[in-house]
Structures are given as structure tokens and as C-alpha cells.
A = this chain, B = another copy of it.
């Protein structure tokens, strides 16, 4: 079973997490057979380690981390690989893949451009 981690930065304001919770809920609603967890780099919980632990406990045999960041800055280039390296050492035999940032996905860029144009038209 493939486990999904939706990885966001985190913020002090709980309201900030709403969009990420909405994405998690949409993924769950469409395909309830995939276990899915949010994880935050800082300021919010759970962190990546706790989220991966939760997915493994639910029977995930492989995990993909989706960085819900518009663009790949230092957090995705440095912090995320470092944390994932630690997770791989802890969960030997569990494949953990990291996807690109949201802003590197052509279909999502298209959706954003469409929203912009629909708003001014």
C-alpha cells in the first residue's frame, strides 16, 4: 500500500493550514484506499517523522512526499533531503520518494494561469 505525505512549511496561525487540509481531504475523498497524512517542516504538527510513522503503522509499504511549496527554495533543497535521509536510515527497506514542488507541475501552473485570467476577464 502506498502512503502519501503532503508536506507544507507550517505557520503559527492554525488557519494557515486550511488549504493543505482541504487538499488532504480531497485526496482522501477521491481515493480512500491510499493513506494520506499532512506533515510540516516547523511550527505545526505532525512533523515528517511522525507522519511517516503513522503511515507505516497503517501498513504503507512505500511513501511519496509531495512538497506543497510553490517553488523549490532552501527548505526543499536542503532541509527536506536531510530529514528524508534520516527517515531512510530509520525505516530500512521502506522506499521514500520525494516529488517536485507544486510550481513545477505543468497542470498546476495551467490551473493557476486559468484562475488568473478568469478573475480579470
Q: Interface of A with B (CB < 8 Å)? A: 2, 4, 6, 8, 11-13, 15-20, 22-23, 26-27, 30-31, 34, 36, 64, 66, 68-74, 77, 99, 101-105, 107-117, 119-121
**Please, how many angstroms separate the alpha-carbon atoms of A6 and B113 in the complex?**
10
Bound form: Cα–Cα A97–B12 in Å: 26
Contact call B103/A19, Cβ cutoff below 8 A: yes
Residues of B contacting A72 with CB < 8 Å? 15-16
Contact A103 B30 (CB under 8 A): no
Question: Which residues does chain B contribute within 8 Å of A103, judged by CB atoms?
Answer: 18-20, 22-23, 68
What's the dominant secondary structure at chain A's contact region?
Answer: helix
Does A73 lie within 8 Å of B13, measured CB to CB? yes
Taking a contact as CB atoms closer than 8 A, the residue among B8, B16, B105 that contacts A115 in the complex is B105
Minimal Cβ-Cβ distance residue in B for A103: B19
Decide: A16 near B71, CB < 8 A? Known: A26-B110, A109-B23.
yes
Q: Which chain B residue has the least Cβ–Cβ distance from A113?
A: B26
